[in-house]
Amino acid sequence: MKKRILSAVVALALVIGACFCVSAESAKSPLRFDENGEFKIMHLCDCQDGYPASEKMLKFIDAALKEYQPDIVVLGGDNVVADFEDKDAAIKELVDVFVANETYFTLVFGNHDCEQGMTNDELMVLYQKYGGEYCLASDPEPELHGCGTQMLPVLSTMGDRTEFALYMFDSGSHAYDENGNDVGYDCVHEDQIEWYKDTSKNLEAQEGKKIPGLAFQHIVVGEAYDALFYETSNDVDLGVLTPKYNGKTYTFFPRTNNFTGFLLEFPCPGYYNYGQFDAMVERGDILGIFSGHDHINNYETELDGIKIINTAGATFNSYGKEMTRGMRMITVRDSNTWEFETESVTINGFALENDDFASDAGIISVFAMITEGLAKVMLALGEFSGLFAGVIDLIK
């Protein structure tokens, strides 16, 4: 009799505990639309300055956090590239800026993060250590390829309903053939794609509707080539003038009528393609895929209903261009979560609008003005060439 009573008590406790866990799970996300119905994301890529990092970059991040007050920062990979003995201090140096501004952050890893003697799993521990409550990055599915693939729910202003989703993908470092030869960059793998589809479907079932979201990864999806360049015959081979990807050959001349911003180098996607983009098109809930990796590219294009967006690097010590160096702001509104706005914020442009920052960072206003002026001229030329691209599209 006592055993039956004890069993009944345990069963009741388990039921109550399960209900509590479900409730806690839905309410634990600290991310939600603000009182104005907005959710703001700062996309900060390729901060790979080594240690110590550039003071200009750190001061820019600090000033931009104070100016834009994002709800979360997404570090887009190649976040900290420092020698092994400096890696710990370098991560703390970057993370301290977010903690000081009481700003949540998460991250994806890039191809360079793990090249200084620490694995991404070890790096994740350091980000969590120094970020404390402000670090939302984790590796909830350690069996998946890479480290840090996860979904962060964005809740409604009032209540605990998920209204938007942020998907983080580890796109790896390098890819290898069956003989173990390095053949190029890595990409999002099959198990991560299946995880995304399952997570997306479960979220839809949980909320009773499809939940829109954005995807973040370091290495750009290969479909960027279909959106940015014209395909040509595989028999045509003009070297660097005819880039090849995924069995296709493309012309050097870009489809300037199909993107905005700067395309200053060929995108560098993964060598393999396991169908990530196709899966997202099929599910129909990913509005945009954001990447970094290509430091001087800063564009927005679209293919099959999904925006493919590259954010320029913030680094001063690795390669970059003055007219693109900076970060990107993304805004989603709860009045229509199926749309979002994005704005590129260059360091020079920010300096022209913030005298205190320019003075503190030692940015010369005249130089910044010339750089921003040249950028506007290049953008105007790009728009003009888009007329010719439009004619090509009509002919095709």
Q: How confident is the model over 116-133, as pLDDT tens digits?
A: 999 999 999 999 999 999
Of the candidate ranges 7-16, 132-141, 167-176, the one whose mean pLDDT is the lowest: 7-16
The pLDDT of residue 241 is 84
10 pLDDT above the threshold of 80: no
> Which residues, in sequence order, are CB contacts of 390 under 8 Å at separation 6+?
257
Structural domain of residue 37, as residue ranges? Answer: 31-395
48 or 14, which is more confident: 48
Pairing of strands 286-291, 213-216: parallel
Q: How confident is the model over 316-339, as pLDDT tens digits?
A: 989 889 999 999 999 999 999 999
Place 393 in a pLDDT band, splitting at 50, 70 and 90: low
Instruction: Tell me the average pLDDT across 363-383.
Output: 89
Residue percentage of the chain with pLDDT more than 70: 90
SS (H, E, C) the chain: CHHHHHHHHHHHHHHHHHHHHHHHHHHCCCCECCCCCEEEEEEEECCCCCCCCCHHHHHHHHHHHHHHCCCEEEECCCCCCCCHHHHHHHHHHHHHHHHHCCCEEEECCCCCCCCCCCCHHHHHHHHHHHHHHHECCCCCCCCCCCCCCEEEEEECCCCCCEEEEEEECCCCCEEECCCCCEEEECCCCHHHHHHHHHHHHHHHHHHCCCCCEEEECCCCCCCHHHHHEEEECCCCCCHHHCCEECCEEEEEEECCCCEEEECCCCCCCCCCCCCHHHHHHHHCCEEEEEECCCCCCEEEEEECCEEEEECCECCCCCCCCCCCCEEEEEEEECCEEEEEEEEEEEHHHHHHHCHHHHHHHCCCHHHHHHHHHHHHHHHHHHHHHHHHHHHHHHHC
Q: How confident is the model over 135-160, as pLDDT tens digits?
A: 999 999 999 999 999 999 999 998 88
The pLDDT of residue 232 is 87
For residues 396 and 392, what is the distance between their CA atoms, to the nearest angstrom?
Answer: 6
Rg of the chain on CA atoms, in Å: 22
List residues bridging with 162 in a β-sheet: 155
Q: What is the CATH number of the domain that holds 302?
A: 3.60.21.10
Of the candidate ranges 2-6, 99-103, 243-247, 350-354, the one whose mean pLDDT is the lowest: 2-6
Q: 78 in a domain, yes or no?
A: yes
The pLDDT of residue 246 is 86
pTM: 0.90
Q: 266 in a domain, yes or no?
A: yes
Place 1 in a pLDDT band, splitting at 50, 70 and 90: very low
Q: How many domains does the chain have?
A: 1
Q: How confident is the model over 258-306, as pLDDT tens digits?
A: 999 999 999 999 999 999 999 999 999 999 999 999 999 999 999 999 9
Q: 4 in a domain, yes or no?
A: no
The pLDDT of residue 18 is 36
The pLDDT of residue 395 is 58
For residues 188 and 269, what is the distance between their CA atoms, to the nearest angstrom?
Answer: 10
Q: 236 in a domain, yes or no?
A: yes
The pLDDT of residue 236 is 82
Place 199 in a pLDDT band, splitting at 50, 70 and 90: very high
Q: 226 in a domain, yes or no?
A: yes
The pLDDT of residue 12 is 38
Q: 2 in a domain, yes or no?
A: no
Place 379 in a pLDDT band, splitting at 50, 70 and 90: confident
Of the candidate ranges 55-59, 143-147, 154-158, 230-234, the one whose mean pLDDT is the lowest: 230-234
Q: 373 in a domain, yes or no?
A: yes
For residues 336 and 118, what is the distance between their CA atoms, to the nearest angstrom?
Answer: 42
Q: 5 in a domain, yes or no?
A: no
384 pLDDT above the threshold of 90: no
Q: What's the whole-number average pLDDT of the chain?
A: 90
Residue percentage of the chain with pLDDT more than 90: 78
The pLDDT of residue 389 is 55
9 pLDDT above the threshold of 80: no
Place 26 in a pLDDT band, splitting at 50, 70 and 90: very low
